[in-house]
């Protein structure tokens, strides 16, 4: 049962996947007034597809997005052993060979990003107001402990609670740490200017990814029996220093294509130039020259221009809340894409935080302590996923101690490498976010009892 009077107002800076998920969760469990401030002229999304695994699916069900999927005739993932990904050695001109099959205990689904954003938008509560073309510049605290937000267009707004869901270049994060510096409350690990810079500024991962959606019809014309035309399995075409991920999304309407090229020396270096721009497909064709026919057919099917992304990651932050301000999603743990978990982790943050804030036990006075519970429950888990994702990138591109790719026929080593990959992936289908919520709820009850 929702209480009649709103206990506080929540401002969400950023209307991406994490911000929308938070608003939907808050709306489902409370009457809290929500304002979303989004810098873009409309709530939308750039980019292509994303894979949704069991933990993310559980949140989607909690938020009744499964019904939205039905309305859009999109199929659901299901329980049971599932061939999730095939690793295929492809950096040779002859036909490639499958070297490892990753079996999950739950199937995944591929969604177009726009579909997920649309479904979330359709579940936004009437208590939520969206303000577009509002780019936050900074915030500061009012004398009554509420926050004043300043936008780049000169306007201001106030809120009791402020959530930074504003992605890897988060303005909320910048302001939060500025505030901590001014108050002399920086954690010891961040006291040197170098460590602070490393934690706060996005770093280049050394990875360039070329992303596109392929029309299955185009691929069919080039290669009628291509293995991606008849299967939903994620294909991982691996080779030394590069790999390509491709899989059907939106029930086979498109093939999501991502080609990765890693500069090992580039990791942590400053990236000069634009992070994202369109480039002629010849650039990616050249990178994968000499790879097997199945890869060449995919490359040929690409449109003439392809999106090129310099993948950046966040520094590992030791904290993500301060008083009544919290960071979620890429604002706190932007990661590489190798375990398809950025959006999933963003949704887990949003779900746990949303449940905590909307709980009847959370009064305005105890919001800062409730946010600390969110931090305790989520931050180290998400930071572990950041590390897993990085390790997997090394493994896919045969740059890990498990397998360096030199001996193409050492089946024992390759099997060990595959099993190590499997064990890193397994968090995606073990447990449910509801377990984390139960832990958080228990902590909240203890807190409320202590404050009573």
Residue 5: CB minimum distance to ligand FAD, A: 28
209 binds ligand FAD (CB under 6 A): yes
Write the Ramachandran bin of 329: left for phi over 0, alpha for psi from -120 to 50, otherwise beta. Answer: left
Maximal CA-CA distance, the chain = 71
Position among 26, 297, 306, 346 found at the interface with ligand FAD (CB under 6 A): 346
Contact string (CB under 6 A) for ligand FAD, positions 125-144, x = contact: ----------xx--------
Q: Which is nearer to ligand FAD, 329 or 393 (CB)?
A: 329
Q: Which is nearer to ligand FAD, 82 or 223 (CB)?
A: 82
Handedness of CA 235, 236, 239, 241 (dihedral sign): positive
51 binds ligand FAD (CB under 6 A): yes
Q: Which is nearer to ligand FAD, 40 or 432 (CB)?
A: 40
Please name which of 13, 17, 113, 15 lies closest in space to residue 344, comparing C-alpha atoms.
17
Q: Which is nearer to ligand FAD, 9 or 211 (CB)?
A: 211
Are 193 and 256 a contacting pair, CB within 8 Å? no
Position among 100, 237, 247, 309 found at the interface with ligand FAD (CB under 6 A): 309
- Rounded distance between C-alpha atoms, residue 390 and residue 268, angstroms: 12
- Rounded distance between C-alpha atoms, residue 337 and residue 351, angstroms: 21
342 binds ligand FAD (CB under 6 A): yes
Q: Helix H segments across 86-137? A: 113-122
206 binds ligand FAD (CB under 6 A): no
Position among 14, 202, 354, 433 found at the interface with ligand FAD (CB under 6 A): 14
Are 267 and 208 a contacting pair, CB within 8 Å? no
13 binds ligand FAD (CB under 6 A): yes
Position among 11, 27, 30, 37 found at the interface with ligand FAD (CB under 6 A): 37
Joined together, the tokens standing for residue 389 give 């994702």
Neighbours of 308 (CB within 10 A): 20
Burial string for 65-87 (b: 16+ CB within 10 Å, else e) reads: bbebbeeeebeebeeeebebbbb
Cβ-based neighbours of 225, under 8 Å, separated by 6 or more: none
Joined together, the tokens standing for residue 87 give 């690793």
Residue bearing tokens 């199929």: 75
The torsion angle over the Cα atoms of residues 163, 430, 87 and 413, rounded to 10 degrees, is 120
Position among 38, 261, 292, 397 found at the interface with ligand FAD (CB under 6 A): 38
Residue 74: CB minimum distance to ligand FAD, A: 16
Footprint on residues 365-404 left by ligand FAD (CB under 6 A): none
354 binds ligand FAD (CB under 6 A): no
- Rounded distance between C-alpha atoms, residue 295 and residue 246, angstroms: 10
The kind and range of the H/E element at 69 are: helix 65-71
Contact string (CB under 6 A) for ligand FAD, positions 242-261, x = contact: ----------------x---
Residue 341: CB minimum distance to ligand FAD, A: 5
Are 86 and 244 a contacting pair, CB within 8 Å? no
DSSP string, 300-329: HTS-SEEEEEEEEE----S--EETTEEE-T
341 binds ligand FAD (CB under 6 A): yes
Q: Which is nearer to ligand FAD, 343 or 373 (CB)?
A: 343
Stretch that binds ligand FAD, among 159-167, 177-185, 364-372, 374-382 (CB under 6 A): 159-167
Are 53 and 431 a contacting pair, CB within 8 Å? no
344 binds ligand FAD (CB under 6 A): yes
Please name which of 421, 417, 86 lies closest in space to residue 235, comparing C-alpha atoms.
86
Are 247 and 235 a contacting pair, CB within 8 Å? yes
Give how many residues touch ligand FAD by CB under 6 A. Answer: 33
Stretch that binds ligand FAD, among 36-44, 61-69, 115-123, 224-232 (CB under 6 A): 36-44
Residue bearing tokens 């491709």: 246
The kind and range of the H/E element at 60 are: helix 54-62
Residue 57: CB minimum distance to ligand FAD, A: 11
171 binds ligand FAD (CB under 6 A): yes
15 binds ligand FAD (CB under 6 A): yes
Residue 343: CB minimum distance to ligand FAD, A: 3
Q: Which is nearer to ligand FAD, 322 or 337 (CB)?
A: 337
Residue 37: CB minimum distance to ligand FAD, A: 5
Position among 82, 127, 340, 383 found at the interface with ligand FAD (CB under 6 A): 340
Position among 27, 77, 96, 167 found at the interface with ligand FAD (CB under 6 A): 167
Interacting residue ranges for ligand FAD, rule: CB under 6 A: 13-19, 37-40, 50-51, 135-136, 165-167, 171, 209, 211, 258, 309, 311, 329-330, 337, 340-344, 346
């Amino acid at each position: 049962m929702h209480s009649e009077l709103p206990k506080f107002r929540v401002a969400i800076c950023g209307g991406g996947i994490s911000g929308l998920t938070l608003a939907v969760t808050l709306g489902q469990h409370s009457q809290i007034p929500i304002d979303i401030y989004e810098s873009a002229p409309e709530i939308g999304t750039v980019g292509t597809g994303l894979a949704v695994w069991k933990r993310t699916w559980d949140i989607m069900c909690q938020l009744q997005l499964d019904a939205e999927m039905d309305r859009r005739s999109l199929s659901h993932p299901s329980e049971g052993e599932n061939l999730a990904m095939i690793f295929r050695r492809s950096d040779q001109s002859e036909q490639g060979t499958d070297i490892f099959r990753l079996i999950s205990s739950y199937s995944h689904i591929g969604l177009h990003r726009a579909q997920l954003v649309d479904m979330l938008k359709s579940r936004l509560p009437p208590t939520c107001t969206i303000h577009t073309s509002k780019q936050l510049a900074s915030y500061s605290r009012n004398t009554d402990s509420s926050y004043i937000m300043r936008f780049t267009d000169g306007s201001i707004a106030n809120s009791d609670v402020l959530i930074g869901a504003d992605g890897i270049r988060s303005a909320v994060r910048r302001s939060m740490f500025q505030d901590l510096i001014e108050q002399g409350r920086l954690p010891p690990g961040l006291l040197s200017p170098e460590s602070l810079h490393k934690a706060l500024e996005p770093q280049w991962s050394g990875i360039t990814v070329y992303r596109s959606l392929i029309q299955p019809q185009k691929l069919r014309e080039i290669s009628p029996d291509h293995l991606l035309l008849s299967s939903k399995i994620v294909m991982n075409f691996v080779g030394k220093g590069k790999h390509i991920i491709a899989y059907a999304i939106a029930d086979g309407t498109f093939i999501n294509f991502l080609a990765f090229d890693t500069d090992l020396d580039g990791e942590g270096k400053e990236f000069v130039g634009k992070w994202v721009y369109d480039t002629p497909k010849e650039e990616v064709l050249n990178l994968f020259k000499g790879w097997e026919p199945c890869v060449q057919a995919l490359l040929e099917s690409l449109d003439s221009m392809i999106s090129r992304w310099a993948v950046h990651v966040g520094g590992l932050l030791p904290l993500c809340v301060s008083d009544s301000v919290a960071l979620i999603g890429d604002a706190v743990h932007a990661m590489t894409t190798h375990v398809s978990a950025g959006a999933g982790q963003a949704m887990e943050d949003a779900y746990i935080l949303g449940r905590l804030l909307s709980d009847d036990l959370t009064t305005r006075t105890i919001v800062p302590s409730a946010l600390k519970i969110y931090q305790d429950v989520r931050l180290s888990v998400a930071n572990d996923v950041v590390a897993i994702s990085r390790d997997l990138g090394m493994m896919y591109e045969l740059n890990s101690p498990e397998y360096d790719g030199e001996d193409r026929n050492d089946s024992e080593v390759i099997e060990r490498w595959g099993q190590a990959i499997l064990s890193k992936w397994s968090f995606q289908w073990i447990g449910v976010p509801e377990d984390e919520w139960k832990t958080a709820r228990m902590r909240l009850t203890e807190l409320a009892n202590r404050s009573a």
